């Protein structure tokens, strides 16, 4: 085992339990939108968090350099509300819950209060995967080192002559996702990653909500292109759909070792640099890096830098003993918790889903290139036969998810009752 793989295993396996209780961790991002069709007033956005602190049961956890709160925490639980990358996007990061309804109840309360506050200044949150007025907004990062570093890193693409990269390095300021984390065990995490990677085509078909009007991109999920054709995707193992099924833990970590390290801390300073595969990182004597002032320095790689490793795969093993599912766009408010229920149901019925996927007609007809399948079924138009294939595939998975949710006995199958796709909707 190489040192890099050992460090990655130490990082990602230390909190995985043998037989965990399944909790639901949900993170929701939404654009803050000016209802007049103009740029979001970031002063109104900043004032929102101040109002929530003054008038409701929140306290400040993080400030920006100007002293504005950028992350607040409920005094009653571990729920957090924060700005995500820019002041134009609001994120809800909920405390893990035993069932989805607990999260929905608190979200409904928060949303009512927030929409009321924003409405006083003709702003609102919207359930869209891309900010509708992204091109008018101030897309500068939140004034904190993490987001400033990330935005400067992504902007490195402007200096590269790579035709594979898009020209929107500021995309982190205006794309919004709907993410769920679910507990996994040492025994099943490989199966979980494989199963959900295999069904990305169905998820694209069911949850697409980020069409990008400023381009000729033939996709209803522009966020895939934003991620995969940016600095995050220069190493193809670093972002998006996994290219293969993993046979065992060693094969998974061998793949993960090809993902990127691109940032390091030295004292209080954040640095970023051209992405280096984790497997090669410690073999470099020196690395050319940049601080937030744009100054160039030489860094000596350290093992401790692996603590900053984070890949951007759509099935992402976290350091918390969970897998985070990252490929779903922000959804309309009336569909916000459907994708969480879908993921949870599939996990709860994992063994039967695995058996189904081994012999699924969908793969016999469409092949098993999971990355290409997601791209194909997120296109704006697909053929009638392809639509039939993916519709049947998605509906089979929904039924399997419903069985899993019924077995949990929490009433969560309610969320999937209207998800079955009818042929007339093609």
User: pTM of the prediction?
Assistant: 0.95
> With b meaning 16 or more CB within 10 Å and e meaning fewer, what string describes 28-45?
bbbbbbbeeeebbbbebb
Query: Which tokens in the block code for residue 414?
Result: 């309610």
Rounded to whole angstroms, the Cα distance separating 401 from 416 reads 8
- Residue reference for tokens 């929140």: 58
Rounded to whole angstroms, the Cα distance separating 353 from 358 reads 9
Contact yes or no for 277/235 (Cβ under 8 A) = yes
Residue 202: name the closest of 348, 315, 339, 403 by CA. Answer: 339
Residue 309: name the closest of 238, 225, 228 by CA. Answer: 238
The third-level CATH classification (topology) of the domain covering 25-147 is TATA-Binding Protein (3.30.310)
Contact yes or no for 118/46 (Cβ under 8 A) = no
pLDDT of residue 215: 75
Contact yes or no for 391/205 (Cβ under 8 A) = yes
pLDDT of residue 426: 45
Query: Which tokens in the block code for residue 183?
Result: 């507990």
* 27 C-beta neighbours (distance < 10 Å), count: 18
One pLDDT digit (tens) per residue for the chain, 426 residues:
579 999 999 999 999 998 899 999 999 999 999 999 999 999 999 999 999 998 889 999 999 999 999 999 999 999 999 999 999 999 999 999 999 999 999 999 999 999 999 999 999 999 999 999 999 999 999 999 999 999 999 999 998 877 789 999 999 999 999 999 999 999 999 999 999 999 999 999 999 999 998 778 999 999 999 999 999 999 989 999 998 899 999 999 999 999 999 999 999 899 999 999 999 999 999 999 999 998 999 999 999 999 999 889 999 999 999 999 999 999 999 999 999 999 999 999 999 999 999 999 999 999 999 999 999 999 999 999 999 999 999 999 999 999 999 999 999 999 999 898 776 444
pLDDT of residue 423: 64
pLDDT of residue 32: 98
Find residue 332's DSSP bridge partners: none
Per-residue H/E/C for the chain: CCHHHHHHHHHHHCCCECCCCCCEEEEEEEEEEECCCCCCCHHHHHHHHHHHHHHCCEEEEEECCCCCEEEEEECCCCCEEEECCECCEEEEECCCECCHHHHHHHHHHHHHHHHHHHHCCCEEECCCCECCCCCCCCCCECCCHHHHHHHHHHHHHHHCCCCCCCCCHHHHHCECEEEEEEECECCCHHHHHHHHHHCHHHHHHHHCCECCCCCCCCCCEHHHHHHHCCHHHCCCCCEECCCCCCCCHHHHHHHHCCCEEEEEEECCEEEEEEEEEHHHHCCCCCEEEECCCCCEEEECCCHHHHHHCCCEECEEECCCCEEEECCCECCCHHHCCHHHHHHHHHHHCHHHHHHHHHCCHHHHHHCCCHHHHHHHCCCCCCCHHHHHHHHHHHHHHHHHHHHHHHHHCCCHHHHHCCCCCCHHHC
Rounded to whole angstroms, the Cα distance separating 397 from 342 reads 8
């Amino acid at each position: 085992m190489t040192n890099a793989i050992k460090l990655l295993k130490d990082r990602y396996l230390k909190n995985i339990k043998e037989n965990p209780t399944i909790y639901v961790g949900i993170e929701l991002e939404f654009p803050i939108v000016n209802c007049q069709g103009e740029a979001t007033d970031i002063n109104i956005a900043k004032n929102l968090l101040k109002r929530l602190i003054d008038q409701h049961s929140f306290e400040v956890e993080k400030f920006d350099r100007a002293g504005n709160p950028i992350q607040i925490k409920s005094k009653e639980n571990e729920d957090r509300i924060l700005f995500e990358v820019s002041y134009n996007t609001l994120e809800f990061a909920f405390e893990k819950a035993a069932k989805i309804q607990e999260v929905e109840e608190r979200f409904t309360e928060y949303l009512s209060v927030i929409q009321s506050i924003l409405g006083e200044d003709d702003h609102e949150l919207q359930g869209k995967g891309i900010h509708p007025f992204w091109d008018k907004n101030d897309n500068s990062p939140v004034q904190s080192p993490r987001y400033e570093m990330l935005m400067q890193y992504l902007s490195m693409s402007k200096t590269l002559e790579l035709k594979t990269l898009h020209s929107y390095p500021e995309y982190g300021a205006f794309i919004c996702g709907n993410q769920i984390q679910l507990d996994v065990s040492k025994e099943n995490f490989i199966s979980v990653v494989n199963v959900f990677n295999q069904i990305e085509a169905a998820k694209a078909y069911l949850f697409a909500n980020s069409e990008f009007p400023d381009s000729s991109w033939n996709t209803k999920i522009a966020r895939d292109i934003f991620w995969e054709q940016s600095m995050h995707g220069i190493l193809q193992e670093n972002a998006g759909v996994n290219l293969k099924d993993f046979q065992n833990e060693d094969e998974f970590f061998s793949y993960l070792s090809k993902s990127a390290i691109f940032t390091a801390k030295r004292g209080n300073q954040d640095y970023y640099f051209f992405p280096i595969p984790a497997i090669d990182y410690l073999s470099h004597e020196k690395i050319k890096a940049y601080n937030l002032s744009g100054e160039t320095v030489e860094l000596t790689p350290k093992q401790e830098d692996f603590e900053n490793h984070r890949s951007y795969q759509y099935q992402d093993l976290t350091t918390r003993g969970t897998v985070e599912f990252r490929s779903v766009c922000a959804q309309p408010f009336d569909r916000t918790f459907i994708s969480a229920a879908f993921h949870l149901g599939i996990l709860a019925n994992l063994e039967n889903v695995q058996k189904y996927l081994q012999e699924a007609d969908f793969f016999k007809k469409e092949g098993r290139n999971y990355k290409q399948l997601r791209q194909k079924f997120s296109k704006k138009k697909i053929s009638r036969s392809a639509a039939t294939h993916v519709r049947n595939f998605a509906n089979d998975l929904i039924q399997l998810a419903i069985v899993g949710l019924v077995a949990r006995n929490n009433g969560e199958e309610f969320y999937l009752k209207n998800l079955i796709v009818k042929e007339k909707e093609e």
